[in-house]
Amino acid sequence: MSAFLLCFAAWSVMALGMDRHHEDATGREGAAHRLQQLRRAGWLLLMLSLWLAAHPADGVPVSLGVTAWAVALSVAAVAVTATVTWQPRRTPLLAGLALLAGLAAWAGGW
């Protein structure tokens, strides 16, 4: 669960780092520097989610964790695409909630 939530947050932040999606979500253009920071933050979140998936607790094999991460990555990409298409104003809020819930889920062993 934590992998999906962190991937959702990462894809959302990367989408918000794009001109069109940023303007749809916030109602104003983003500065080029800010958009670049958002894209970098998204990549860092993706790397964090992969690292967490590759270091599972409970003796789960690394290969299974990375496979589950790849599935979570794909499902999260579809979910973010739907969000920025149909509910763009909610994307920043959902990204923040997904990040917090993902970290809480990871801390709780989910």
Q: What is the pLDDT of residues 32-61, one digit of tens each?
A: 999 999 999 999 999 999 999 898 777 788
Average pLDDT, the chain: 94
CB 110 within 8 A of CB 6: no
Helices (H), the chain: 2-16, 19-26, 32-54, 62-86, 91-107
pLDDT band at 13 (very low <50, low <70, confident <90, very high): very high
Number of domains observed in the structure of the chain: 1
Prediction pTM value? 0.94
CB 7 within 8 A of CB 99: no
Q: Which domain holds residue 99?
A: 2-107
